[in-house]
Amino acid sequence: MTTATAPTAGIPVGPGLSMFDPIFLGIDEFGQPVYITLAYRNLLAGGEPGGGKSGLLNTIAAHAALSADCRLVLLDGKLVELGQWEDCADAFIGPDITAALDVLRRLQQVMNNRYAWLRAHGRRKVTALDGLSVITVLVDEIAFYSATIGGKQEQEEFVALLRDLVARGRAAGIPVVAATQRPSFDIIPTSLRDLFGYRAAFRCTTPNSSNIVLGHGCAEQGYSATDIAPTNQGAAYLIAEGGIPRRIKVAYLTDSQIAGIADYAAWTRRPSRLSAPTGSRLDWEIAA
Amino acid sequence: MSKSSPRRSFGRKSTGTVTVIEAKVHRSSARNARMAFILSAVVIGVLATVVATSYVHPIIALFIGAAIGVPCGALAWLLVRIWPVLRLLWWWTPEIVLTVLSLTAWVQLANHTPTIVTLAVVAIVLGVPAAIPAVRRQVVAWVWCLIVRHRLRVCFAQFIVANQSGSLPLILWAKPTPVGERVWVYLRPGLSLADLEGRLDKIAVTCHASSVLVERASDGNAAYLRFDIKRREVLTATVTSPLADVVTSDIPATDRPTPVVPTALDLPDVQAPTVTLPVQQPKKPATTSANGSKPTAAQSTDADDVSDWI
Ligand SMILES: Nc1ncnc2c1ncn2[C@@H]1O[C@H](COP(=O)(O)OP(=O)(O)OP(=O)(O)O)[C@@H](O)[C@H]1O
Ligand SMILES: [Mg+2]
């Protein structure tokens, strides 16, 4: 799959990043860098169309792709938002709910196996020293799978599987990052939405929508994503480690930067290298 | 004067003289000075007497003790009385030191070099930082740090009611941030983070800033706070990820199979019957002739405004 003509001078070295490292997201309102650690957390990004949610997902995907201990599972109804990472990803699902359900079922199985493995070792969560890969699940536009394509039954199954991943995947090293334009209950059941620990609210049109993303009562305390100027794409309120919403500006990767990182990551992940990591005992194979 | 007498009206712009000690503070300062005198005179006197008894007769030792204790007490009294002045000097230490240094430098320069050289040196010392934008910005940022510490003190002294004795919070160091300044403050009894949070807008006005944030600087000590003074907005800048720079550009490009380029990119190219609908469209016979994904999407937006929340 990769080319055999590696340049003799300056072969790129493998990435030194890990999913257990803090991920650079952008800057806060004081110009200080903002990092989040995603390995044990789930992140939900919400906000109006064009707010910058996919920009956030791409920034996270870039870190994940460059992390040697990470596998990417991408679900992108729009195909183009995460499409450039296809070569680094173990599964890339477009607008196809059957494929989405398949990959979620596989993930569920992996998760169950990992918990069984943890139990066998008398442990409670996966750590960086286990050599297990962190399987980062990125879903752009949940609503597309949970409310748009497929039949009622499939949509419900999708939500149920995703909720299970979000609820139990954390300690097994399967973090979920999801983006949606509006996480109200008709798009995403409240039972699923409330499980996401980290929230990022991009510009919202009403204080109510902002509250739906950030949590009840945030707008009243002065944290309302309606303050963000429509022209200031990529600015968001982030609730992460600190617990209180922080204003941040998400780092933005241009298409060519993404292409560069994706090529590099694909090169470092070429099959000969990642085919048999320690995690392979869980029979997770490169997706077809 | 009664306890509730307006201390503000006492010493400010009444006369030409500058009164550094306010009424209430003045009273308590006199009392404190007396206490300091008595305490230190007695303690030091007794100690001196005890030590002296082992060398001389106790009566003489008593006199020696008094002779040592009284001057020490007087010194303590003096220190407490002039404490407000000392405090004022302390507040302005950076400015005083800077002024003294630059004046000394100027005088030395003027005495030891001809006028032309003096002027040239001054022109270089002042002109180069002014001409290089990065240096100029840094200097301006430091100047703001000096200013903002005084402005914060003005806030505390003017409208943030402190405690009975009128002691002000300790304003520690300040450092420039990309949006303004960050100042660390150690509160004295009588104030809390919550008191300050209600007054941030006034503090911002006093500091000539756009907004001010205050947060705890230490988990273990509620008195140790951090003020973030914002004068500029950084969130409108475009941030780039450092990851783009760490990858080398001479990566062997990934061999991708050339994808089938889709056709039918305009509306006339797509005839109504060619749209294949998802088979799982349970109960929408009326809309099935249109676009496969539309009906449910429209449905969800309809429901949006009706029920925002569960
Ligand atoms: N962090 C950012 N900094 C600067 N510009 C940004 C940033 N994020 C997004 N943008 C700009 O905003 C545009 C839309 O962003 P993006 O595609 O991420 O929005 P979105 O929230 O995913 O929208 P949708 O809901 O329609 O998918 C981008 O094309 C880009 O030009
Ligand atoms: Mg998007």
Q: Which residues contact B128 (CB under 8 A, 6 or more apart)?
A: B135
One-letter identity of residue A179: A
User: Comparing C-alpha atoms, which of A78, A94, A34, A79 is closest to residue A60?
Assistant: A34
Q: Is A77 in the pocket of ligand 1 (CB under 6 A)?
A: no
Task: Please tell me the distance from the alpha carbon of residue A100 to that of residue B159, in angstroms, as a whole number.
Answer: 61
Task: Please tell me the distance from the alpha carbon of residue B40 to that of residue A68, in angstroms, as a whole number.
Answer: 69
What pLDDT score does B238 carry?
86
A87 touches chain B (CB under 8 A): yes
Task: Please tell me the distance from the alpha carbon of residue A28 to that of residue A235, in angstroms, as a whole number.
Answer: 9
Per the DSSP assignment, residues forming a β-bridge with A72 are A136
Higher pLDDT, A266 or A9: A266
Residue of chain B whose Cα is closest to the Cα of A268: B251
Q: A13-22, A157-166, B148-157 — which is least confidently predicted?
A: A13-22
Size of interface A-B (CB pairs under 8 A): 142
What pLDDT score does A269 carry?
79
Number of domains in chain A: 1
Q: B49-53, B120-124, B288-292 — which is least confidently predicted?
A: B288-292
CA atoms lying within 13 Å on the CB side of residue B170: 7
What pLDDT score does B96 carry?
94
What global pTM score does this model have? 0.73
How many angstroms is it from A50 CA to the middle of ligand 2? Answer: 7
Q: A49-53, A78-82, A275-279, B75-79 — which is least confidently predicted?
A: A275-279
User: Comparing C-alpha atoms, which of A108, A157, A114, A98 is closest to residue A137?
Assistant: A108
Q: Is A136 in the pocket of ligand 1 (CB under 6 A)?
A: no
What pLDDT score does B20 carry?
54
What pLDDT score does B8 carry?
43
Nearest CA to ligand 1 atom 11: A233
Query: Under an 8 A CB cutoff, do B251 and A29 touch?
Result: no
Considering the domain boundaries, does residue A5 fall inside one? Answer: no
Task: Please tell me the distance from the alpha carbon of residue A245 to that of residue A256, in angstroms, as a whole number.
Answer: 32
Identify the band that residue A244 occupies on the pLDDT scale cut at 50, 70 and 90: confident
For B234-255, how does the pLDDT look when each residue is reduced to its tens digit (9 = 90+)? 888 888 888 888 777 776 666 7
Considering the domain boundaries, does residue A9 fall inside one? Answer: no
Mutation site for A-interface testing, chosen from B181, B211, B243, B296 by largest number of A Cβ within 10 Å? B243
Considering the domain boundaries, does residue A132 fall inside one? Answer: yes
A31 DSSP 8-state letter: S
What proportion of chain A, given as a percentage, has pLDDT over 90?
41
What pLDDT score does B297 carry?
39
Q: Which residues contact B233 (CB under 8 A, 6 or more apart)?
A: A29, B179, B210
* Distance in Å, alpha carbon of B247 to nearest chain A alpha carbon: 6
Q: Is A236 exposed, middle or buried (0-12, 13-18, 19+ CB in 10 A)?
A: buried
- Mean pLDDT across B13-36: 65
- Mean pLDDT across A147-170: 90
Nearest CA to ligand 1 atom 7: A234
Tokens of B244: 């783009």
Identify the band that residue B2 occupies on the pLDDT scale cut at 50, 70 and 90: very low
Query: Under an 8 A CB cutoff, do B308 and A5 touch?
Result: no
Mutation site for A-interface testing, chosen from B200, B251, B276, B306 by largest number of A Cβ within 10 Å? B251
Identify the band that residue B289 occupies on the pLDDT scale cut at 50, 70 and 90: very low
First to last CA, chain A: 14
- Mean pLDDT across A137-163: 91
What pLDDT score does A31 carry?
84
How many angstroms is it from B284 CA to the middle of ligand 2? Answer: 28
Q: Is the pLDDT of residue A152 over 60?
A: yes
Residue of chain B whose Cα is closest to the Cα of A61: B243
A261 touches chain B (CB under 8 A): yes
User: Comparing C-alpha atoms, which of B202, B201, B200, B205 is closest to residue B215?
Assistant: B200
Q: Is A248 in the pocket of ligand 1 (CB under 6 A)?
A: no
Query: Under an 8 A CB cutoff, do A249 and B307 touch?
Result: no
How many angstroms is it from A192 CA to the middle of ligand 1? Answer: 25
Identify the domain containing residue A98 by its residue range: 18-270
Considering the domain boundaries, does residue A7 fall inside one? Answer: no
What pLDDT score does B295 carry?
40
Query: Under an 8 A CB cutoff, do B237 and A257 touch?
Result: no
Query: Under an 8 A CB cutoff, do B247 and A66 touch?
Result: yes
B247 DSSP 8-state letter: S
How many angstroms is it from A33 CA to the middle of ligand 1? Answer: 20
* Distance in Å, alpha carbon of A81 to nearest chain B alpha carbon: 17
* Distance in Å, alpha carbon of B133 to nearest chain A alpha carbon: 19
What pLDDT score does A47 carry?
92
Query: Under an 8 A CB cutoff, do B255 and A3 touch?
Result: yes
Q: Is A59 in the pocket of ligand 1 (CB under 6 A)?
A: no
What pLDDT score does A216 carry?
84
- Mean pLDDT across B136-162: 89
What pLDDT score does B28 carry?
73
Q: Is A55 in the pocket of ligand 1 (CB under 6 A)?
A: yes
- Average pLDDT over chain B reads 79
Query: Under an 8 A CB cutoff, do B178 and A30 touch?
Result: yes
Per the DSSP assignment, residues forming a β-bridge with A200 are A45, A238
How many angstroms is it from A234 CA to the middle of ligand 1? Answer: 6
Residue pair A56/A179 in contact (Cβ under 8 Å)? The answer is yes
How many angstroms is it from A139 CA to the middle of ligand 1? Answer: 16
A215: left (phi over 0), alpha (psi -120 to 50) or beta: left
Tokens of B175: 């450092």
What pLDDT score does A154 carry?
92
Topology of the domain covering B132-230: Threonyl-tRNA Synthetase; Chain A, domain 2 (3.30.980)
Q: Is the pLDDT of residue A224 over 80?
A: yes
Q: What are the sequence ranges of the domains in chain B? A: 22-81, 132-230
- Mean pLDDT across A68-79: 90
To the nearest 10 degrees (0 to 180), the angle between helices B23-53 and B58-81 is 160
Residue A66 maps to which CATH number? 3.40.50.300
Residue pair B80/B21 in contact (Cβ under 8 Å)? The answer is no
Considering the domain boundaries, does residue A288 fall inside one? Answer: no
Query: Under an 8 A CB cutoff, do B243 and A253 touch?
Result: yes
What pLDDT score does B301 carry?
40
ipTM surpassing 0.85, yes or no?
no
**Which residue out of A25, A44, A48, A54 has the highest number of ligand 1 atoms within 8 Å of its CB and is therefore the one to mutate?**
A54
For A83-134, how does the pLDDT look when each residue is reduced to its tens digit (9 = 90+)? 999 888 999 999 999 999 999 999 999 999 999 999 998 888 888 888 888 9
For every residue of B147-190, DSSP letters joined together read HHHHHHHHHHHHTS---TT-PPPEEEEEEEETTEEEEEEEPPTT
For A:9-48, CB contacts with B below 8 A are 10, 12, 24, 26-27, 29-32
Identify the band that residue A1 occupies on the pLDDT scale cut at 50, 70 and 90: very low
SS3 (DSSP) at A188: coil
- Mean pLDDT across B52-79: 92
SS3 (DSSP) at B211: strand
Q: Is the pLDDT of residue B281 over 50?
A: no
For B192-223, how does the pLDDT look when each residue is reduced to its tens digit (9 = 90+)? 898 888 889 999 999 999 989 898 888 899 99
SS3 (DSSP) at A252: coil
A183 touches chain B (CB under 8 A): no
Tokens of B197: 């949070």
